[in-house]
Structure 1
């Protein structure tokens, strides 16, 4: 017996439209060779929470993660996931969108995330749990960034680090009023159709 697909209620549609209006089309996250799919799923949830509409999976040495079913309880349903195997292909896409690529790094030249102007178009590139962002990925980045830490450990879990960065981005964009700007109607309709597709 086939399960009947329920159409979204008016209340549900209103929530979807409200959420879409908060989306930040000029903000994205790039996950490079992240091994644990649970970390990718956690990053997706953080992206949904702050209004990131799509993320990019850059996998050159690891298999693409299995993110599970696109249920309404999963952030995977609400965020578009794009996949790449080559660094130049990803850079070309991001630069076409005029994004500044920020890569997490412990390099001395890296800038504190609290010193960055996050109201500009931005792609946040995070790397593998053990190796971090690769040398190849750093070459396509425009700027290296770091999260200031005051304890004995050098870094946070990749999903936690991504959430910390995203909420600094969110704070700046909220203060600048970017979350209150109404989205283009064509963009809204297109994404609403995606979200309501059975």
Structure 2
């Protein structure tokens, strides 16, 4: 029989331990995300995989907010974040600082997630877009690469928080395997 573990048995970091821990070379950029629950869910994913930082851009709401807090469950306290008004300017700044910028979008010449290879010494910024419009075309055009999650059903897209969970886990697991 498999017994579920109690939270006290999970040996999770506290906020101070998280802040001191080695981070994965992943930055998450949220480009005009409307849903506060999606924002909070992305914070939890970022916490789970020791993401270096989250940038909240455009209309994306910022902590503290009760609806973000409801799904983040404290991750807004552990994960570093910053608000930037203009996503395109942020992408240009990240590139100037040697960070590889990757839009997660359906686009011509996109790399399928399962074909995506990482350089474990390179920090990547994963840009996730608005629930309806996706990543702004100007931002997609400015990025170094576009990454697409393959889908095989009838729907055109996945929820932003689901997409972030899939992509961050995939990049983290590839980084961890090469580290």
Quick check: TM above 0.5? yes
Question: 5 Å matches for 1:12-161?
Answer: 16-17=16-17, 20-24=20-24, 26-59=25-58, 62=59, 64-68=61-65, 73-118=73-118, 119=120, 120-161=122-163
**Gapped regions of structure 1 (runs ≥ 5):** 1-10, 178-198
Cα distance change of structure 1 residues 14 and 92 upon mapping to structure 2, 3 Å threshold: same
SS in structure 2 opposite 1:137? helix
Q: Deviations over 1:60-112 (max 9, x none)?
A: xx263454378994100001111111245312431243111110221131111
Q: Is the 8 A contact 2:63 2:76 kept in 1?
A: no
Q: Is the 8 A contact 1:35 1:65 kept in 2?
A: no
SS in structure 2 opposite 1:53? strand
TM-score, normalised via structure 2 length: 0.80
Count residues in correspondence: 164
TM-score, normalised via structure 1 length: 0.73
Cα distance change of structure 1 residues 64 and 16 upon mapping to structure 2, 3 Å threshold: closer
Distance 1:14 1:135 in 2: 39
Cα distance change of structure 1 residues 123 and 18 upon mapping to structure 2, 3 Å threshold: closer
The more displaced of 133-142 and 31-40 is 133-142
**Rg larger in structure:** 1
The more displaced of 166-175 and 114-123 is 114-123
Cα distance change of structure 1 residues 100 and 109 upon mapping to structure 2, 3 Å threshold: same
**Gapped regions of structure 2 (runs ≥ 5):** 1-10
Cα distance change of structure 1 residues 163 and 63 upon mapping to structure 2, 3 Å threshold: closer
RMSD between superposed Cα atoms in Å: 2.7
**1:162 equivalent in alignment to 2:164:** yes
